[in-house]
Structure 1
Amino acid sequence: MTEISRWDAEMLRFTREMEAAAALDPQPDPRRDVAGARAWTERMNLPLAAGGDAMAESRDVTLPTAAGPVRCRLHRPVREAGLPVLVFVHGGGWVWNSVDTHDRLLRAYAAAAGCAVVSPDYALSPEAVFPRALHEVAGVIRHLAAEGASLGLDGSRIVAGGDSAGANLALAAALLLRDEAPALALQGLLLNYGCFDANCDTASYAEFAEGYGLTRARMRMFWEMYAPDPAERLGPLASPGLASLHDLPPVLLHIAELDVLRDDSEAIEQRLLDAGVAVERHLFPGVVHGFLRAQGRVSKAGESVREAGAWLRARFGTPGA
C-alpha cells in the first residue's frame, strides 16, 4: 500500500479487508484459467451485493437484439408504469463480473433516481471479443427504445451508464446509436471511472501502476483480451476517447482520484467539452478504482449514487430533481 496519507480512511479499511480475504483465497491466473478467475471475482463481490435498497420488482428478462438474446436484470423501485430507464453496464474489464456482482449498486441507482434500471449481462471476453459486447449493449438500448412499453417502461427516456469497462461500453454504444439510429435520443450518459483509450501510458497509469487496486498490468491484460487485434483497439468504438464526440447527450463523469484510469476521464471530459457536450464531473478524493462496489461501507460510494440520482432525476424530469 503506497502513500497511505492520500487514502480516504474508509476506502483504506475496505481495501485492506478485501486484500485480506483475497490472501486467503488467491485469484487464479486469468490468462491460464479465466473461468476460475471469474468464479473468484464472484466469490469476492457477491457478499458486497447483499443488502441495500428493496425494490417493488426485481427480475431477469431476456431481450432480443441483432447480436442475439441478452439476459438483463430489471429493477423497478415502484410499480407504476412508464418509468424512465437507466441502462447500466457493469464493469470488470470486459472479462468478469456480472449483474449479480453489481446488484446492490443497480438497486441503489433505481432508488436514488426513481427510475427503472436495466443491466445487460453481456458476453464476456476473451471468448466474445470486440465488438460483441458493444452490439449487445446497443441492441438492448434499441429494444427498450422501441418496445419498452411492453415492460412498463418509457422508451423515450433512457440514460446509458456504466462503471469502468461498462462506462466504455455505454459511451461506445451512444456513439454507435448516434450514427446508426439518430432518431433514438438518449437523455444522458453516466460514466463512472471509465476506460476510454487503450493507451496505458498516461501519467495516472504511471502514478498508480501498482498498490491502488487496479494495476496497469491488469488493464493491459483486459485490453488484450477484449480487443486482441492491436489495430482494433485504436478504433473509435473500442477506444471512444479517440472518437468524434459531437451530438452526444449531457454527461455526468464520476472519477476516482487514486486510479490508473483517472486521466482517461480527465481527457474525455475535455474532448466532450470541445465537442460542445454538456459535462458535469466530480473527482472523489482518496478513493480507488471500483469504489462504487463498497455501498454501505465507504461513504463516498453512497455520495456518488445520491449525486447521480439527483442528476438522473433532472435528466428524466422526474419529481425530486
Structure 2
Amino acid sequence: MSLDPQMQGLLNAFGALKLPPYEELTAETFRALAEAKRVTRGQGESLAQVSDRVISGKGSDVTVRIYRPHTDRVLPALVYFHGGGFVLGDLDSHDNLCRALSNRLDALVVSVDYRRAPEDRFPAAFDDAWTAVQWVAEQAAALSIDPSRLLVGGDSAGGNLAANVCIKARDCGGPAIAHQLLFYPVCDNDLSRTSYREVGSGYFLETDMMRWFWGQYLTAPQDADKPYCCPLKTDDLSNLPPATLVVGGYDPLKDEGLAYIERLRVAGVVVHSLVYPGAIHGFMSYIGMLQLSDQALDETIDSLQTVLARD
C-alpha cells in the first residue's frame, strides 16, 4: 500500500533534520534539532487536573505527570512511557497523546519522565519505568484508581519499556497488569530485518538513526542480551498480559513489531494487532492532525473497552 497522503504531507512539513554525521552527532544537538522541528499540536484536550509529581526511584528520583479526567469515580490507570529512541522525548512531547488517552479511556494516565541516554544508559530507563509502575500500584487508594485495571503503555522506545515491565512483573509475581498498549515498540536491536532495508530511509525514523540510538542506550552491544532490554530476546513470553499492538507499514520497526505479535500469540498471549500499512513511525503523536492517527486512536480505544469496562 502507498504512503498515506497526509503522512507524506507531514514528512514534507518536517523537512530534513540535516543531522551531522552520526559519528559526530551528540544527544544535545539531536534534541535541539528535534525540538526545533517539533510540529505545533495546540494545547491538547482539557482535563479535570494535570499535575507533576516526583517519586523516589532506584538511583534517581522520577518525575511523573498525572492526568485525571472529569469524573469522581474510581478509575483504571495507564502508566505511559514516551518514545524517542531512549534519547529524545519528554513529558511535553507526548502531552497531547496522554491527554487524549486519559479523556478517551476515562482513565488516570501517569506519564513517566524516565532517565535518557547517553547520560543514563540501560538499564536506567527501565529501572525508572519499573519504579513508576510499582508506585502507581502501591498508591492505588491515594490515586483513586482500581488496581485490577492497571495498564502499561508506550510508543517506540516507550513501548519497549512497557513490554519489558510486563515481563518483569510476571517474573516478580506482580504488580498485576491487566493490559499492555504498545505503539510501534522497539523490540530488538537486529537491524537486518526487511523493513529496515525497505523503509529505512526517507520515512522519519531511519535505520542509521536506530543504530545511533542503540549506541547511545547500550554501554556495550552485549547489553542487548540482558533481561529487560529487548523483548524479542526473551525466551519465555507466556503468562503476560493481553496486548494491543499498533504497527505502521512505513516504519523500519514494522517487522520486529509483527514478530513480537507472533511470538506473543505462540506463547498463548491474547493480542489485538492494529496494522496501518500507510503509516510512518510515530504517527500516533499527530492525533487531531492526521485522519489515520485519529482512526488508530479510535480503534485502540475500542480494543481496550472490555479491559476498562466502566462501573
Q: TM-score, normalised by structure 1?
A: 0.91
Q: d(CA) in 2 for partners of 1:187 and 1:67? A: 28
Number of residue pairs matched by the alignment: 309
Q: Residue 190 of structure 1: SS of its match in structure 2? A: strand
> Considering only aligned residues, what root-mean-square deviation do their CA atoms show, in Å?
1.7
Deviation (angstroms), 1:236: 3.8
Native 8 Å contact 1:200 1:220 kept in 2: yes
Equivalent-residue separation in structure 1 for 2:20 and 2:142 (angstroms):
42
CA drift of 1:29 comes to: 6.1
Task: Give yes or no for the alignment of 1:306 onto 2:298.
Answer: yes
Is contact 2:155-2:184 (8 Å) kept?
yes
Structure 1 match to 2:215: 224
The Cα shift of 1:55 comes to 0.7
Q: Does 1:212 align with 2:203?
A: yes
Q: Deviations over 1:184-207 (max 9, x none)?
A: 210100011111011110011111
Match of 1:14 in 2: 10
Specify the SS of the correspondent of 2:36: helix
Greater mean alpha carbon deviation, residues 222-231 or residues 149-158: 149-158
C-alpha offsets along residues 272-298 of structure 1, whole Å, 9 cap, x if unaligned?
011100001011121110111111111
The AA in structure 2 aligned to 1:37 is F
Q: State the partner residue of 2:310.
A: 318
1:82-161 equivalences in 2 (<5 Å): 82-161=74-153
Q: 2-side partners of 1:111 and 1:53: how far apart? A: 8
Unaligned runs of at least 5 residues, structure 1? none
The reply to whether residue 43 of structure 1 matches residue 36 of structure 2 is yes
Query: Within 1, Cα distance between the matches of 2:92 and 2:285?
Result: 12
The answer (yes or no) to whether the contact 1:65–1:143 under 8 Å persists in 2 is no
- 3-state secondary structure, aligned to 2:293: helix
2:226 is matched with which residue? 235
The alignment's TM-score, normalised by the length of structure 2, stands at 0.94
Q: Which position in structure 1 is the counterpart of 2:237?
A: 245
Question: How far apart, CA to CA, are the structure 2 residues paired with 1:304 and 1:269?
Answer: 17
Q: Bigger CA drift: 87-96 or 62-71?
A: 62-71
1:280 aligns to 2:272 (yes or no): yes
Please say which of residues 37-46 and 221-230 is displaced more in the overlay: 37-46
Q: Find the aligned partners of 2:248 and 2:227 in 1 and give their Cα distance.
A: 24
Deviations for 1:72-122, whole angstroms, at most 9, x for unmatched residues? 111111241521111110000000111101100111111111111111000
Contact 1:46 1:100 in 2 (8 A): no
**Aligned pair 1:200/2:191, yes or no?**
yes
Match of 2:54 among 59, 62, 74: 62
2:28 maps to a residue whose letter is A
1:45 Cα deviation after fit: 2.5
Amino acid at match of 1:297: M
Relative distance call for 1:173 and 1:200 in structure 2 (3 A) is: same
- Contact (CA 8 Å) 2:80, 2:152: kept in 1 or not? yes
- The secondary structure found in structure 1 opposite 2:154 is strand
Query: How far is 1:66 from its partner?
Result: 3.2
- Report the alpha carbon displacement of residue 43 of structure 1 after superposing the two structures with TM: 3.2
**8 Å CA contact 2:19, 2:25 repeated in 1:** no
State the shift of 1:318 in Å.
1.9
Moved more, 10-19 or 257-266: 10-19
**Runs of 5+ unmatched residues, structure 2:** none
How far did 1:139 drift? 0.8
Change (3 A) 1:57 1:146: same
Q: Contact 1:232 / 1:238 at 8 angstroms: preserved in 2? A: yes
